[in-house]
Amino acid sequence: MAETATHTDHAADHGHHSSTGLSNNKLAMWLFLGSECLLFGGLISTYMLYRGRVQDGPHPSQIYDIPFTSVSSFVLLMSSLTMVLAVTSAQRNDDNRTNLWLTITALLGATFIGGQVYEFTTFYREGLGFTTSLFSSSFYSLTGFHGVHVSIGVIMLLSTMGIIKRNKITGNKSEVVELVGLYWHFVDIVWIVIFTLIYLIPS
Amino acid sequence: MAIIERPSSEVTTPAVVAPSQALGAIRRPVASKGWREWLFTVDHKKIGIMYGVVAMVFFIVGGVEALLIRLQLALPDGRILSADQYNQMFTMHATTMIFLFAMPMAGAFANYFLPLQIGARDVAFPRLNALSLWLLVIGGIVLNASWFLGGAADGGWFMYAPNSGPVFSPSNGVDFWVLGLQIAGIASLIGSINLIVTVLNMRAPGMTLMKMPVFTWMILVVQFLLVFSLPVITVALVLLMFQRSYGATFFDVSQGADPLLWQHLFWIFGHPEVYVLILPGFGIISEVLPTFSRKPLFGYPFVVFSGASIGLVGFGVWAHHMFAAGLGPVSVAVFSISTMAIAIPTGVKIFNWLLTMWGGKIWYTTAMKFAIGLVVLFTIGGLSGVTHSVAPSDTQQTDTYYIVAHFHYVLFGGMVFGLFSGFYYWWPKVFGKLLNEKLGSWNFWFMVIGMNLTFGPMHILGLQGQPRRMYVWTEARAGEGLFNFGFWNMVSSIGSFVLSIGILFFLINVVITARNGKQAPADPWDARTLEWLATSPPKEHNFDRIPVVHHLDEFFHRKYEEDANTHTMRQIATGEDLIRAEEAAADSDIHLPGPSYWPLVLAIGVGVLGLGVVYGTPVMVFGAAVVLLASFGWVLEPSVPEAIDYASPDGDGHSKEIATHG
Amino acid sequence: MDTVNNVKSPRRRISTTLAGVTGLLFLAGCATNAPQDTWQAKGPNAQKISDLQWIVFPIAGVVGVLVLALAGYIMFKYRDTGQPIPTQGHGKPTAEIILTIVPALILTVVGVFTFRAIFDLAKTEDTEMIINVTGQQWWWEYDYPVQTELGINTPIISSGQLVMPVGTKVLLRETSRDVIHSYWIPALNGKKDAVPGRIHLLRLEADKPGIFAGQCTEFCGLSHANMRMEAVALSKEDFAKWVAGQQKAYTSPADGTLAKEGETVFLNQCVRCHQVNGLKKADGTPALAAPDENVYSGAAPNLSHLMSRNTFAGAMFDLLRKNCRSDVWDATSEEFGAKYLAGVSESCLNQTDLRAWLRNAPAMKPMYADPTKLTKTGGKYRGMPNLGLTEDDIDKLVAYLLTLK
């Protein structure tokens, strides 16, 4: 992932033609995200099929803490806003602000992950292990996969920042930030879908 | 990124780190000779060749597995293999042929020729290209390592749950299978994104989508199929891995799971996969047939759109693999009809190929023979496919040898013949030498006769009720007379050896050609597409100058002109002339992406990470560390080496420009 | 430019061979004596499929022959005989449209017939009899629920051979106890998977008395190849006799016979998994099998009235010797019922296979029966283990089993 994101496109930079007008990196990122849609699609379908199949342990309705998850969802949503600000700053070539917004975005992402860790440990203590039931396995797989995506996003944000700071970027800086942004927004949107389907729609 | 024009002096590149400093101690590899040249290369042509070699090795492995299967089934109650070995054998035969031969071999052609056909100097992401290759190699090793580590996967390539669960398949075979396929899947995904971007973004000026060679078009369709189907199988594989290695119960019926979940996920991937396998073959012969008929492809837009619609409809037919699986009649009817619908664009292709030859001036080279072989054999396979789309009839045929016959006509007759056509057609382009046509003829005839002897009788066996995946068949069910199992199983087994001799002829041909093959002229086939505008073998930067495209079949139209009065074609230049003209007008300032360690290191890291699933957390942590290290190394390494690190790719010829720049 | 020798063989041979292969496919319909032939329907459901095949296969064949003939003609006609390079025409849209519409029309016709057949074959409201069929590694269990109008007053549990009355619309309710299997009697209908956790329905009906072969067609592990089935159709009167026979009370062998000693061996060894209805332990309490404690699928074949069946071990082996078997299989439909109902007599018993099976079952049929390799199943077998019986025990057991009529 990180490789693609920060891959540079000299061809587009230096006026070599690009038939679509999109840079190679951006096109690749869009394709990757398109592919990811089906990955999450498969996991969400699995969850929807299995959410009611509980032989042991708690049912979804007994365990979800909607207010808590709403707050952490809001945090993640806000991080999309700060990401937008980071991209705008990068486009204005304002390294300091770019770094500031990237930091905030990463912090918000980390907060979301912290919330997820807290949620998972609470669930675990209430008797919902990974292997407890089909519901629990599919729940942890889906949200876990999403959590891993957010974590990778945070690592990407921090790495991008580090690279900008040390002036080691190997390509068009604002495009790198934009690519990380695309990924980040995607992960947010997926969460909105997951949150709606898992937490808000009663099984 | 790719190959670029060197930024001219007024463009400064201040933010580029000196590559020798990337990640401190490790110095970037510079263009070198010997094995390093291959191991660290990012050149799409070298990578393409390596794809080909890897695929060919696995073709032989899968072929030996097939021969063992046929030996076992030659006589009733075969004793060559035990039930357990037989189950591993047919599982790995299919897995190897599909994931480690067919897809990589198509990848070899795509990698090598796609940039050449669109007038580009490399793919969009050369290092990712190398990563795809190495991940594939690692995936293949993981898959096959299981033979030596307690037994290979034994659940069939379709790996239906719950038979794939830890209880029913207690060896580690399925674990290796799951890991190997996930790694190979990542390889394909990266590769497909890379190729799509290459096609969409890096076409030579003037090459609109509808002027693209059909091979490129078909590869493009295939890559879209992969991008949207691979994640689905990945989900299935991940669920299975969680079940086998971490105690989840996704397919454990006693916990309330539904075994059909696996089948849906698998076939949503699995059916597009069928087109992933066949479309490259279609693409290859859509180049070969026009070349040797001396006519453009008949109905180019129809061939292109039928390819695209096969791809699209291919996502809506998966449940025709499940007609006996207990879906309701409504779903069965819908999938039955959609499957019939997909026959229409397929038929369009066959007619267009035939009409391409109609009125032509057909030159029967080995490449052409294989191409015609594809048309004929695929027609048979396609028609037996139509009989399956009739769902009630399919409930008699599915899981019998009739299906085995069908898909071998489609895949062996279709895809493999396409690939062999491609070998003979493009060999001079890649290696500068012509494969021996005489041996080629032997190669073809043994293959075509062997293939029909092997798979033709399977139609009969299937209709006589011999199910597939049985390690033995019994005299008690064999019947009597002309159509008994005994005779036709024997014919089929003999056929498989005839077929193998055909393939042996190819390997001999390769060796002989390499030793003392005839030097190929620049344009041996009077070809039509842009790859022939490069020298044979092509220079590392492909084109001395980026061609400007005006026509479909640009290369042909540079050679020939229509006489305004007589409407006959008149030659105005030879291929050699055109290539010389390009050399004379070569671009200066060509810079190539530098070789890199990171794709190989990263791929090995992913492999170790995967093995951690079987061998425990410490292994996994180590793998993850390597992956992380390699990722950072990768990101910090500029794609194009600093001038001081740059060495000339091909000695002279361009050393002048390179010297000017450092 | 012509650097490669022009290879001029017009290659019609290829198309003629291939047309020949296609032709043979149709002849396959005329095969004799192939027990699993998909073209010899012996009941209305299979007949429906066969009718459909007689539409689709000829169409496919004719289209195939036409296309291949066209290919052959083109290959010959337009070979390079020194003609000039043709004009570079790019195709004719009208030809394309015609070539799209014609196949579409043909497929529409096929589609209409297909549609009708799919829904006909999915009907269940006309069912006259129900049999529950359960697959497990590597045999099928047949469970006849109480159906008083057919004389079934207590449930009948059998295996090895499905027995059904002719001219009766039988509905199989299929499921599985472990992995997916598929039930297929080609002469009576297409196949339908038996999936654990689900019940799938399959219509069967036989026109005439007879015995029809089948084979599990969903890969189900080691002995998939040995998981066979046989469906037996009896006239309604004969079926009533069979039902009565299956409901007959158990009679213990007379004291002092070899069979009586065999009963004791059975009680010591076999009854752990295999039920024989009515069998009592020495203390007079009923002997109840507990296969769920020993076998992973939780079931083992019920051996009551074993000798009324012609097969054992998941229909892998015949209980009848070869000549006795052919006597039943080749019987005319008038004689068939009586011959089948005669069961297995001592002179007809296939002693060789039965004894070998009792001596060491895993050597006869690949199964997961090695006690050291059963960690993943918690020590439970998949299939029958080697019981380490002495030859003496085997003699006794065979004598006993022969009494289970």
SS3 B591: strand
Opening angle at CA B497, ends B494 and B503, nearest 5: 150
What chain B residue is nearest to C199 in terms of C-alpha separation? B326
Quick count: other Cβ atoms within 10 Å of Cβ B487?
15
* CATH number, domain C35-81+89-122, options 1.10.1740, 1.10.287, 1.10.10, 1.10.3470: 1.10.287
Contact B5 A134 (CB under 8 A): no
A99-119 tens-digit pLDDT: 999 999 999 999 999 999 999
Top-confidence range, A158-162, B588-592, C73-77: C73-77
What is the token pair recorded at B647? 């060495």
Q: What residues in B contact A24, CB-CB < 8 Å?
A: 1-2, 124-125, 197, 201-202
CB B404 within 8 A of CB B495: no
By C-alpha distance, the chain B residue nearest C219 is: B469
**Residue C392 pLDDT class (50, 70, 90 cuts):** very high
Give residue B482's pLDDT band: very low, low, confident or very high (50, 70, 90). Answer: confident
Nearest chain B residue (CA) to C214: B465
- Cβ distance C3 to B518 less than 8 Å, yes or no, reads yes
Per residue in A3-52, pLDDT (tens digit) is 333 333 333 333 345 677 788 999 999 999 999 999 999 999 999 999 88
Residue B253 to residues A53, B52, B522, C44, C152, Cα–Cα distance (Å): 11, 42, 63, 35, 31
Contact between B246 and A6 using a beta-carbon 8 Å cutoff: no
> Any bridge partners for residue C136, and if so which?
C139
pLDDT value at position B640? Answer: 61
- What kind and span of H or E run contains C132? strand C129-136
DSSP character at residue C9: -
Residue B366, amino acid = T
What's B539's DSSP letter? B
Confidence of residue C17 (pLDDT cuts 50, 70, 90): low
* For chain B, percent of residues with pLDDT exceeding 70: 92
pLDDT at B400 over 90: yes
Q: For C102-114, what is each residue's pLDDT tens digit?
A: 999 999 999 999 9
CA distance C227 to B63: 28
Question: Considering only CB atoms, which chain A residues are within 8 Å of B632?
Answer: 2, 159
What's residue B271's pLDDT? Answer: 94
**ipTM score:** 0.91
Q: Which pLDDT tens digit goes with each residue over A49-86? A: 998 899 888 988 888 889 999 999 999 999 999 999 99
Residues A83, C349: Cα–Cα separation, whole Å? 82
Q: What percent of chain C has pLDDT over 70?
A: 92
Structure tokens at B254: 């006693």
pLDDT for B9? 36
Q: What percent of chain B has pLDDT over 90?
A: 82
Determine contact, residues B394/B320, Cβ cutoff 8 Å: yes
Strand C170-176 to strand C129-136: parallel, antiparallel, or no bridges (unpaired)? parallel
pLDDT band at residue B595 under the 50/70/90 scheme: confident
Q: What is the DSSP string of B161-179?
A: TTTTSTTTS-SSHHHHHHH
Residue pair B175/B613 in contact (Cβ under 8 Å)? The answer is yes
Type of residue numbered A89: S
Distance CA B142, CA B148 (A): 11
C133, containing H or E segment: strand C129-136
With contact defined as 3+ CB pairs under 8 Å, the chains touching A are B
Residue B398's Cβ-side half-sphere holds a number of Cα atoms within 13 Å equal to 26
**CB distance B64 to B101 below 8 Å:** no
What are C345-362's pLDDT values in tens digits? Answer: 999 999 999 999 999 999
Six-digit token pair at B156? Answer: 């069939």
Question: C284: burial class by Cβ within 10 Å (0-12, 13-18, 19+)?
Answer: exposed
Pick the residue of B234, B249, B253, B632 with the most A CBs within 10 A to test the interface with A by mutation. B249
* Nearest-by-CA chain C residue for B356: C91
pLDDT exceeds 60 at position B22: no
Tell me which DSSP letter residue B101 carries: I
Q: Report chain A residues whose CB lies below 8 A from the CB of B11.
A: 14
Q: How far apart are CA A88 and CA B476, in angstroms?
A: 77
Pick the CATH number of C126-405 from 2.60.40.420, 2.40.50.100, 3.30.590.10, 3.40.50.300: 2.60.40.420
Predicted pLDDT at C32:
58
pLDDT of residue B26: 53
Confidence check: pLDDT of B63 > 60: yes
The pLDDT of B321-334, averaged and rounded, is 93
Residues in chain A with CB shorter than 8 Å from the CB of B257 are 50, 53, 134
Residue C293: closest CA among C267, C314, C272: C272
Query: Which helix or strand (DSSP H or E) is residue C211 part of?
Result: strand C210-215
For the record, the structure tokens of B272 come out as: 């597009």
Domain boundaries along the sequence of chain C: 35-81+89-122, 126-405
C35-81+89-122 and C126-405 in the same fold = no
Closest among C144, C137, C228 to C183, alpha carbons compared: C228
DSSP character string of C309-374: SSEETTTTEESB-HHHHHHHHT--HHHHHHHHHT---TTTB-HHHHHHHHH-HHHHS--B--GGG-
Q: What beta strand segments (E) does B353-455 contain?
A: 433-434
